[in-house]
Structure 1
Amino acid sequence: MIPKYRKAFNESFSDEKYAEFISELEAGYPPVPIRFAETPIFLPEAFKEKLIDAGAEIIRIIRNPDFKAQTENAIPVEWLVPEENDHPHFLAFDFAVCRDQTGELVPRLIELQGFPSLYAFQMHLAEIYTKVFKLDDMAPLTPFFNGLNRTSFIELLREVVVGSYQTEEVALMDVNAAEQKTAIDFFVTARILGIPVLSLTDIFQENKQLFYLKDGQKIRLRRIYNRLIFDEVADQQDLFRQSFDPRDELDIEWITHPNWFYRISKYTMPLLKNEFVPETTFVSELKEIPADLENYVLKPLFSFAGMGVIIDVTKQDITAIQEPENWILQRKVSYEPVVQAPDGLIKAEIRLLYLWPDGKEPTLCINLARLSRGKMIGVRYNQDFNWVGGTVGLMERLN
């Protein structure tokens, strides 16, 4: 999107460099079952500022004193976890790259979450793009916001995740952690923070305390960097009996507390009313079904990674919904193909990633980007194309 950098990158690109990029990306880690794009995105300053403004508007709503009351019904009763704290430690906002009526590039909100994303990995990804494609020879570029660099970003991530505890007292946890598609983020996190990566069943409970074994020694956990999504274990709740049930009263700190996954989610979209957010309504609150359904998308509230989304909506799709309070109807946004590949233009999406330390302000720190040729932007929907997949936005470093 910055023409001079795009031109220089494309002219120097080769399949051999891309193969080297993938090899370097996975060096020291298990193979990654995700497609990564051949290129980063070069974000112009004007668009970066619009992204910052769009994110700030959403945070303003989240920080309203009545936000918790407004989102109380967002948490499924069967997944309510006690001892919720007063704010999430992570925020992730997905924006489509669009064009407004004046021809300017603008961000349009697609989804949001109060849950960790690939924070550590995105730093690693940017470093490998820069190394293999020699981007430092082209310009001083960065994936970071707010003047952060590698050192200060890791310090902020450490403050949020580890805090004042010893590294062995904090663990990144997911179900079957090493087998997750995003496990490389877990391993990069472990490398830079020094914390263990544990599967749910690696942890056991004694009274209200949680423990794991390290070299045969019992170690007490004080904090869990939670990457477990309840939707993914809804039909595997015997795992809780083998380990512990997060819904019990436990002497543990959650980073971030599981309830925020639901509070800040598609459920939040109808609460947001500004220029960056497409019209969104709970199906249960529809006064009438729009006549132009081709301009809408139907989304279940409780799904992950685009599962269950209906792109080509019909009236029958809406009337057949059994629990309309758990679905939203959202006006489609028109992605503007803006990233020049050798064979044409490609659509893009930018995820802003924030860290929110206790007692401090939320900080926009890094980004995740995705390129797409398909109807849906997610990596799983673009496996059979090239110049698509996960990537990162790079911006001119101003200091």
Structure 2
Amino acid sequence: MDPNLRAAFNADFTPDKYAALTRCVNETEKWPADFRISETPIFLTREFTEKITRAAREIVAATRTPEFLKHAARAVPKAMEVPNESAHPNFVVIDFAICAEGERLVPRLIELQAFPSLFGFQLLLLGCIRKAYPIIPRNWTSSFGGINDEAYIQLLRRTILADAAAENVILLEIEPEKQKTRVDFAATERLLGVRPVCVTKITKRGRHLFYECDGRQVRIERIYNRVIFDELMRRPDLNLSFRFQDDLDVTWVGHPNWYFRVSKHSLPFLKTEFTLPAFFADEFPSDQNAGEYVLKPLYSFAGHGVDMGPTREKIAGLRNPHEWILQKKIEYAAFVPTVDGRKSRAEIRMMFVWPENDSDPTLVNNLVRMSQGKMMGVDFNIDKTWVGASIALHEC
């Protein structure tokens, strides 16, 4: 990571500047961030920026091959398959752990998903960081390929709205006002005019869906889908007027099937210099040490069901072993010097959008999670500082 800007940033840092950052993040939109914001972005060198962008693009390229599509054909559970699948996903996000290899930092693939991430919030966060920390040069950015803020918004607009009017496009979620990511929904509404709507507030007439807007029933043409099926299945109390499996006259952005096709299910297939060994549990080789792997369920999210200490006995006891994977453990590098003395660890999410009529996806932004524990997540960072949500900046 860039040592010069890091040293300058840390020397200039004050608690008041961090307070200004959190005020900006929490008071700009109608909803605050319901997660901790890290005190600092991370500053990438040109070498690491090139390496992680290459890693992300290689993995996306691997998901576009005929061989991968054959592998992914078995990924969607039959009960969850949604009609009218798009030709390609509209979003792909790829999570890399930052690890040490000798004296160098390297990205290692942790997970990937053809599902939207915090595209609106990351632009808000970047703006707040620029205001709170003027020591960061303006030519340091989180985007890639020379995309400025306006071009970024236009790419999101082309992907999510396309040619539809904003009132005919909704952001669909389960009780959006209660989600931890609600600040992103608010930022998206401000940027694009797309309102967050709960799945229970949708009305179905024939093949058409409607929602209430300013006292009117408005037809839905496009759905910016933020509903995760795992969460939906955990909520039998919800009363929906439609099923995702219905043949509906709407365009899904992105289509729910891609959430499964490009996912943890993909990990055993993907083999690049940036990936880790991964196997379906029913195909786990007999010569491998289970204790060197993490056991993950395919169809859950946010870390639910992850087992950091699998054994052969646990693997043998799985009810549906092909719905679990084992992925080689890695160690996150402690590489971010802090004013508190301890170094923080990080993982970077590389974020692609893919408008319907574009031939290729575009890498647009990134998201960072920082930790001072051995793993990411709240449980490993209780009462810690210089941890939480952030962003990676590089010199353009």
Aligned equivalents of 1:135, 1:212: Cα separation in 2? 46
- Given candidates 321, 330, 334, the residue that maps to 2:318 is 321
Aligned equivalents of 2:175, 2:146: Cα separation in 1? 36
Task: Name the structure 2 match of 1:260.
Answer: 258
* 1:219-230 → structure 2 map (5 Å cutoff): 219-230=218-229
Structure 1 letter corresponding to 2:260: Y
Aligned equivalents of 1:75, 1:380: Cα separation in 2? 31
Task: Count how many residue pairs are aligned between Structure 1 and Structure 2.
Answer: 393
**1:310 counterpart SS class:** coil
Task: Name the structure 1 match of 2:181.
Answer: 182
Q: What are the Cα deviations for residues 57-105 of structure 1, in whole angstroms up to 9, with x where unaligned?
A: 111211112433211221112211111111100000000111224x221
**1:341 counterpart SS class:** coil
Aligned equivalents of 1:305, 1:211: Cα separation in 2? 30
CA contact (8 A) 1:305 1:378 kept: no
Q: What are the Cα deviations for residues 169-198 of structure 1, in whole angstroms up to 9, with x where unaligned?
A: 101110101110000000000000011111
Aligned equivalents of 2:83, 2:135: Cα separation in 1? 47
Aligned equivalents of 1:267, 1:142: Cα separation in 2? 32
Task: Name the structure 1 match of 2:25.
Answer: 25
Q: What are the Cα deviations for residues 99-146 of structure 1, in whole angstroms up to 9, with x where unaligned?
A: 224x2211100000000000111111111111111144x452101001
Aligned equivalents of 1:85, 1:205: Cα separation in 2? 22
Task: Name the structure 2 match of 1:15.
Answer: 15
Unpaired runs of 5+ residues, structure 1, are none
Q: What are the Cα deviations for residues 29-65 of structure 1, in whole angstroms up to 9, with x where unaligned?
A: 3232201111001111101111111112111211112
Aligned equivalents of 2:332, 2:236: Cα separation in 1? 39
CA contact (8 A) 1:165 1:222 kept: yes
Task: Name the structure 1 match of 2:76.
Answer: 75
Task: Name the structure 1 match of 2:2.
Answer: 2
**2:111 counterpart SS class:** strand
Distance 1:244 1:384, change over 3 A: farther
Report the more deviating stretch, 279-288 or 157-166. 279-288
Identity among equivalent pairs (%) = 41
How far did 1:219 drift? Answer: 0.6
TM-score (norm 1): 0.95
Q: What are the Cα deviations for residues 269-301 of structure 1, in whole angstroms up to 9, with x where unaligned?
A: 00111110000011111231623x332111111
Aligned equivalents of 1:192, 1:380: Cα separation in 2? 33
Aligned equivalents of 1:383, 1:178: Cα separation in 2? 25
CA contact (8 A) 1:35 1:383 kept: no
How far did 1:380 drift? Answer: 6.0
- Given candidates 272, 275, 286, the residue that maps to 1:274 is 272
How far did 1:316 drift? Answer: 2.5
CA contact (8 A) 1:176 1:200 kept: yes
Structure 2 letter corresponding to 1:143: S
User: Are residues 1:286 and 2:284 paired?
Assistant: yes
**2:54 counterpart SS class:** helix
Structure 1 letter corresponding to 2:298: L
**1:168 counterpart SS class:** helix
The list of structure 1 runs, each at least 4 consecutive aligned residues, that deviate by more than 4 angstroms after superposition, is none
Unpaired runs of 5+ residues, structure 2, are none
How far did 1:381 drift? Answer: 4.4
**1:78 counterpart SS class:** helix
CA contact (8 A) 2:17 2:133 kept: yes
TM-score (norm 2): 0.96
Task: Name the structure 2 match of 1:94.
Answer: 95
